[in-house]
Amino acid sequence: MLASQTLWSIDQSKSRISFKVDPLIFSAVEGTFRKFDAIIRTLDRDFSTIEIDLQIDASSISTGDVERDDHLRSPDFFDVKRYPKIGFRSKKVKLNTNRSTHELIGELTIKNVKREIKASVQFNGVLTDATGKESAAFIITGSVNRKDWGLLWNESPETGGLMEGELVKIHCEVMLKNES
């Protein structure tokens, strides 16, 4: 029997893309991207065959501080006028023998700079609701060095010293809806 392609979409109301940057001086910066969408395909419902093309609206960044968010949108960081999207395209999934977590390998694009990243994926299963619609839940975690994408600004105007670390921790809670 031939496998058929299954199309999935991200349930925006039940999904979250968040990050945390630990400080060098003061407190950590945590935030989310509020707008994102993806084209996601699997063969049947086999998530080891997943193909992801994720697009994040860089201007939707939110850290709870309007001035900081505006600065993050500026040319010092994401330069959202020139580079409105952050992208991720999957390359492969490595299944771990214990099958509790897997490794997702893909290409992250920020400001037209592409770098391969690896993330840990916890698959929480597929649920079917009362209407017969399927959903699949995942938690994705990883970390990247922001300087690899040219996100270099890091000085305090008050002290002249460095404020934020280079390591960005990524945490995503994703609910997919079966659109097939």
| Residues of the chain below pLDDT 70 | 1-2, 24-26, 98-99, 153-164
Whole-number Cα distances in Å, 39 to 12, 21, 50? 13, 28, 10
pLDDT of residue 3: 76
Please say whether the structural domain 5-178 has been given the CATH code 2.60.40.10. no
pLDDT of residue 106: 97
Q: Is 111 left (phi over 0), alpha (psi -120 to 50) or beta?
A: left
- CB burial of residue 144 (10 Å; 0-12, 13-18, 19+): buried
Which two structure tokens, joined as six digits, stand for 68? 């900081």
Q: How far apart are CA 157 and CA 175, in angstroms?
A: 41
pLDDT of residue 28: 82
Contacts of 51 (CB under 8 A, 6+ apart): 39, 40, 41, 42, 90
Q: Scan for tokens 């900081």, then name that residue.
A: 68
Under DSSP, the state recorded for 72 is H
Which two structure tokens, joined as six digits, stand for 160? 């002249």
**Helix-strand-coil percent breakdown of the chain, rounded to 5?**
10, 60, 30
pLDDT in tens, 76-108: 889 999 999 999 999 999 987 766 789 999 999
- The identity of residue 123, as a single letter, is F
Q: How far apart are CA 87 and CA 129, in angstroms?
A: 31
